[in-house]
Amino acid sequence: MRGNIPAYDVRAPKSLTEALEFLHREPGAWKPLAGGTDLMVLLEMGVLEHKRLLSLHAVPELKGIREEKDRFVIGALTTFGEIQAHAELCREFPLLREAAASVGAIAIQNRATLAGNIANASPAADSAPALLALDAKLELASHEGSRWVEYRAFHTGYKKTLLQQGELIRAIALPKLAPGYVHAFRKVGTRKAQAISKVAFAGLARKAPDGKLTEVRLAFGSVAPTAFRATTAESRLQGRVLDLALIRDAKQALQQQLTPIDDVRSTAEYRRRVSLNLLEDFLLQAKNRGEA
């Protein structure tokens, strides 16, 4: 343990109002702490700069999963374990279930929260590609009230987000999907558990009876400063019938959005090529769906 424990202060408000008050009274002073699975790593290394931590563990308004007519609303503090244990949610969004099951290990999944994963804003966040592909919306709460934002607009740069001072993620909403989607999730991290992704992919696609793609959503993690939707590739594919030439075309379009780096976990070249391979694989799968 390299963190200087006596130098830290932790408060645990009992309600959302109280938590938002803390953030409001001393702007920027308090770092929200949810499951702690990212912050405790920094603490152990002795590099957790925020000395005052606001534990949200006892805030009831941030918990629970609720099904509405056309969407699911997931409380910010919902853990990846709770996501996997929620049968209706998992049936509706197998992508989310697979992403949740790919986080760290079971012990981590039991603590790590969906909003924590989002707010920590790592480009390698395991939930990000799935949330992007599912068109997630975030409810951001502050002393003044709350607002909804599109998740795909939330990450504005490396470790930068739309969160203003005094704001917390309150909930994540996922619109229900029409039936008939092909989906794929793939986390590439060299081992099957306790991995940090080198490349992560989530895809959703739907075809009309004539074979035209009526919708295609492609999301990548770990290959750019933020997780992103491959919009250029998506628009090439939209309304077209998949064939090998179109798949090559989509891969070329994806190339433009890939800006991977070399680091201690992998190489830019590897990340780039695996991204392209995963896209191709998903599109081949979508192409073959419904073909004899």
Partner 1 sequence: MASRLRKEGREKLTGRSQYVDDLRLPGHPEVLHGTTVRSPVARGTLKAVRFGGSIPWKDFVIVTAKDIPAIGGKNAIAHILHDQPCLVDEQINHPEEAIVLLAHPDRFLLEEARRHVTFEIDPLPAVFTIEKSLLKDPVIWGKDNTFKEFTIEKGDVDGVWQTADLIVEGEYHTGAQEQLYIEPNGMIAVANANEGVTVWGSMQCPYYVHHALTHLFALPDDKVRVIQAETGGGFGGKEDYPSMIACHAALLAWKAGKPVKIIYDRAEDLAATTKRHPSSTRHRTAVSRDGKLLAMDIDFLLDGGAYMTISTVVLSRGGIHAAGPYECPNVRIHARALATNSPPYGAFRGFGAPQSLFALERHMDEIAAKVGLAPEELRRRNFLQEGKATATGQIIREKLDLPKLLDSALQSSEFIKKRKAFQEANQDPANPIKRGMGLSTFMHGAGFTGSGEKMLASVAAVEATPAGTVRVLASNTEIGQGQRTVFAQLVADALGIDFDLVEVVQPDTKIVPNSGPTVASRTTMIVGKLVETAAISLRQTLIQSGCLAKTYTTAEFRKACGEYLSKLGALKCFSQYQQPGHIDWDDQKYRGDAYGTFAWAVYVAEVSVDLRTYEAQVDHFTAVQEIGKVVHPVLAAGQIEGGVLQGIGYALSEEVQLRNGRMANNRLTNYIIPTAADAPDIKVIFAENPYPHGPQGAKGIGELPLDGVAPAVLNAVAMALGPEAASRIHSIPLLPESLMKALDGAAESVKGERS
Q: Which of 45, 85, 107, 241 binds partner 1 (CB under 8 A)?
A: 45
Measured CA to CA, the distance from residue 80 to residue 109 in angstroms comes to 5
- Among positions 83, 114, 188, 286, the unique one binding partner 1 when judged by CB under 8 A: 188
Query: Is 82 in a helix, a strand, or coil?
Result: helix
Pick between residue 104 and residue 175 the one whose CB is nearest to partner 1.
Answer: 104
One of 49, 191, 210, 292 touching partner 1 (CB under 8 A): 191
Size of the site for partner 1 (CB under 8 A): 38
Minimum CB–partner distance for residue 129 and partner 1 (Å): 15
Q: Is 263 exposed, middle or buried (0-12, 13-18, 19+ CB in 10 A)?
A: exposed
Residue 251 is a binding residue for partner 1 (CB under 8 A): yes
Q: Does 267 bind partner 1 (CB under 8 A)?
A: yes
Is 31 a binder of partner 1 (CB under 8 A)? Answer: no
Q: Is 68 exposed, middle or buried (0-12, 13-18, 19+ CB in 10 A)?
A: exposed
Q: Does residue 281 touch partner 1 according to CB under 8 A?
A: yes
270 binds partner 1 (CB under 8 A): yes
Separation CA 176–CA 174 (nearest Å): 6
Q: Which of residues 211-250 bind partner 1 (CB under 8 A)?
A: 244
Q: HSE on the CB side for 109, CA within 13 Å? A: 21
| Other CB atoms within 10 A of residue 226 CB | 21
Binding flag, residue 1, partner 1 (CB under 8 A): yes
10 binds partner 1 (CB under 8 A): no
Q: List strand residue ranges (DSSP E) for the chain, in order.
A: 9-11, 31-33, 52-55, 65-67, 71-75, 137-142, 145-150, 155-157, 160-161, 168-175, 182-188, 199-207, 213-221, 228-229
Q: Does 278 bind partner 1 (CB under 8 A)?
A: yes
Q: Which of residues 80-139 bind partner 1 (CB under 8 A)?
A: 105
User: Residue 113 has what DSSP assignment?
Assistant: B
274 touches partner 1 (CB under 8 A): yes
Residues that bind partner 1 (CB under 8 A): 1-7, 41, 44-46, 105, 186, 188, 190-196, 198-199, 244, 251, 264-267, 269-270, 273-274, 276-278, 280-281
